[in-house]
Amino acid sequence: MSIELSREVVDQINKVTNEGNADGNGDTPVIPIEMNNVKILPWEILEAAKGKELVIELRMGASVAGGFQYTWTIKGNTIEDNFESINLGVAADKNAIPEQIIQKLAGTNPIQQLSLEHSGKFGFEASLSINVGSQHAGRFGNLFYFNNGKMEFMNTSKVDPQGNVALGFNHASDYVVVLSDEEMSQASVPKDLQPENKEPEEDTDKDGGEDKGDVNQGDGEKDGANKEETGSNGDSNQGNQNSSVNNDANNNKVSDTNSADKTGGDSDVAGHRRSAKTGDGNEAMPFVLCSILALGVIVSIRRRSTRSI
């Protein structure tokens, strides 16, 4: 783009900004720029449009007969700081993505590969409109990013009656547009083409379930340990209770013995009390009989002695 054209575009941006919405219909102002074969967008235009409620429309490749034509749309309020002149060239015939990967992803659906000449982020949000043919009107154009041998779903849009489809970009790389009857998503990507950080949700949930199982198993082990510890404490408490019962029984026995000593009695095997004064009648009987017999002998001797005298 020539310096003169850049100045004209900057002047037009400033004019629209100062006058507000020129057509007065409430739509965001659009600044069309015929880029022709020029691929570099000067930084002066980005600077003039930064932070403004307007759209820059860059019509690319229009002067190339039979060549690839496309249009970039940039919103002024998405332009970031530290901008510089940027290459917005797009090639549709480089076939940078291997055929076997394309076939796994798209199957029999028609595709369009796109290779952006810039490298890295744009520093603004941009929409790229390409023509895929009116025969695909009503179908969906699904944009996928080729990243280190894997495919990442970006966004999707419906093809208009003229065959144009507009897709969002925020950085430059190699892409493929898959035309399909139904909308596609990251789940449409075969498993072996899934990036590690974009696996389908069901796989993530499954892993999460396994992790929860491990956690629950750990909790079960903790509960088992707690129960075992509780059981040990219960055994200890039971032992203490048994010891207390035994001590009480011993104390009662000591108390009974002491009582027996104080009263002068003792106990038989059955534990019945016996009096020390009366004793057991069966044991005292022989002594009583002997005493009676001895007393009778003495009386008899005395009587005989008295008669002799």
What is the three-class DSSP state of 145? Answer: strand
What is the three-class DSSP state of 188? Answer: helix
- Whole-structure pTM value: 0.61
The backbone torsions φ and ψ at residue 152, rounded to the nearest 5 degrees and listed phi first, read -115, 125
Residues 6+ apart with CB under 8 A from 169: 116, 122, 125, 126, 127, 128, 154
| Tens-digit pLDDT profile for residues 208-226 | 444 444 434 444 444 444 4
Please give the radius of gyration of the chain, using alpha carbons only, rounded to the nearest integer: 55
Q: According to DSSP H, which parts of 89-134 are helical?
A: 99-106
| Tens-digit pLDDT profile for residues 149-180 | 999 999 999 999 999 999 999 889 999 999 99
* Token pair belonging to 51: 């932070």
- Region 195-206: mean pLDDT is 57
> Could you tell me if 134 and 161 are in contact, meaning their C-beta atoms sit under 8 angstroms apart?
yes
* Token pair belonging to 267: 């106990």
The backbone torsions φ and ψ at residue 198, rounded to the nearest 5 degrees and listed phi first, read -135, 45
Q: Which of 59, 37, 41 is nearest to 50 (CA)?
A: 41
CB atoms within 10 A of CB 119: 9
Q: Which of 107, 72, 229, 249 is nearest to 178 (CA)?
A: 107
User: Of the ranges 50-64, 103-117, 153-167, which one carries the lowest mean pLDDT score?
Assistant: 50-64
Q: What percent of the chain has pLDDT over 90?
A: 46
- Region 34-59: mean pLDDT is 92
Q: According to DSSP H, which parts of the chain are helical?
A: 3-19, 43-49, 99-106, 201-263, 281-308
Q: pLDDT higher for 273 or 53?
A: 53
d(CA 305, CA 60): 172
Sign of CA dihedral 266, 270, 272, 278: negative
